[in-house]
Amino acid sequence: MNATTPRIIAFGNPITPQHSTPDAERILSGSPEQTVWNHYTDPSDQFSAGVWSSTTGKWRVRYTEHEFCHLAQGAVVVTSEEGERWEFWAGDSFVIPAGFTGTWEVVEDCRKLYAIFQPR
């Protein structure tokens, strides 16, 4: 195998999770606890992909990145600052573009696959 050939990243490989909560001033309800298994970050640090999970709660979001999400478990409601509302359930896929502001609410503990592009 050529040493410069990029390697495939399998999400089933065990990695150390990172645990967090949204900043207290952003939380609108609940006490959401989040876990991230970031399986890949490219050398430019602009693209990443992995698995994210959260317990129930609602918080304010302001996206500087573009994010593809595939909800593998649970249910979420994403609401724009203007009041437009989207409900997503296990099996749904969606993209949140950079510049989106609003709220993210986990109504059933959830797990999603994500791919994020953060332009410089």
pLDDT along the chain (120 residues), means of 10: 80 94 97 98 97 98 98 98 98 98 98 96
Ramachandran category for residue 45: left, alpha or beta (phi over 0 → left; psi -120 to 50 → alpha): left
pTM to 2 decimals? 0.92
Q: How far apart are alpha carbons 58 and 3 in whole angstroms?
A: 45
pLDDT of residue 26: 98
What are the chain's domains? Answer: 27-117 (2.60.120.10)
